[in-house]
Structure 1
Amino acid sequence: MQNQEIKQLIEAADDAINREDFEALMEFYSDDAVLVVKPGLLVRGKEQIRKAFEAIAEYFNHSLAVEQGKMCILEAGDTALVISNTVLNVGQRTDASYSMDRNATYVFKREEDKHWRCIIDNSYGVELLDVEDKEK
């Protein structure tokens, strides 16, 4: 069974990204969360994550739209692994529209206040392994 609370949190986070409401988006993350900006580039903590999302919005000329497709949530105690087909649509990056699908992985932790928060946000999923292989 899917954890509906986590699924709804991810949908709300996508909505915040799409509206560029980065203040609301930061509620989605733990204080020490890690975001994979791109393979080889990680940022840590809410301040750096917010700056990264602002830069991403700018890079895509404020046209990024994120949504989740098929999703699997594995939960053990206060930790959950989410594997999701994430769809990124971009209206105008360099005069052209395009879409890309990623098999993302997210890790959530139920914090002391009983709210689930993302501690690892990796929209690239296992693609990180390809980058590590190239660096060897």
Structure 2
Amino acid sequence: MASHPLEQVIRAADAAITAEDFDALMDFYADDATLVVKPGLHVTGKDKIRAAFVKIAEHVRHSLVVGQGRIDVIEGGDTALVIMESTLDYLDAGEKVGARRRATYVFRRDAGARWVCTVDNSYGTDILDQRTGE
């Protein structure tokens, strides 16, 4: 089975995160996209998403490496739900951390037939167990 074009889009976005190329990263997002920064904290719009990634990079001392595992793309019309395993390696309080998440993303095809992310939730359904302050 051939891979879905979104797999390459996601790999390129993850590479931009790892390289801290946040200007290039913003090309992957719709203008009105929402990023789940952490359970209970979401930001909307490219400026806020970019600022969140900068803060995340600073928090992990510029050590974040993002990778991919299994991926499934469910497409309906010009919208796609992506369910995938994401791997995250970073420093937290000087200690190496390796995490694996089952992320969920929503993409839509824009007027130019290019896929852009509208919802970025690296926590996936685990967010239901991790909500704070609600």
Q: What TM-score, normalized by structure 2, do the two folds share?
A: 0.95
Specify the alignment match of 1:128 in structure 2. 127
Specify the alignment match of 1:61 in structure 2. 61
The CA deviation at 1:85 is 0.4
Partner of 1:126: helix, strand, or coil?
Answer: helix
| Alignment gaps of 5+ in structure 2 | none
Specify the alignment match of 1:109 in structure 2. 108
The CA deviation at 1:131 is 3.3
Q: What TM-score, normalized by structure 1, do the two folds share?
A: 0.93
Q: Which runs of 4+ in 1 moved over 3 A?
A: none
The amino acid across from 2:88 in the alignment is L
- For the aligned residues, what is the CA RMSD? 1.4
Specify the alignment match of 1:7 in structure 2. 7
Shift in CA distance, 3/120, structure 1 to aligned 2, threshold 3 Å: farther
Partner of 2:92: helix, strand, or coil?
Answer: coil
Give the distance between the partners of 1:43 and 1:24, measured in 2 at CA: 18
Shift in CA distance, 96/131, structure 1 to aligned 2, threshold 3 Å: closer
Instruction: Check conservation: 1:2, 1:72, Cα contact below 8 A.
Output: no
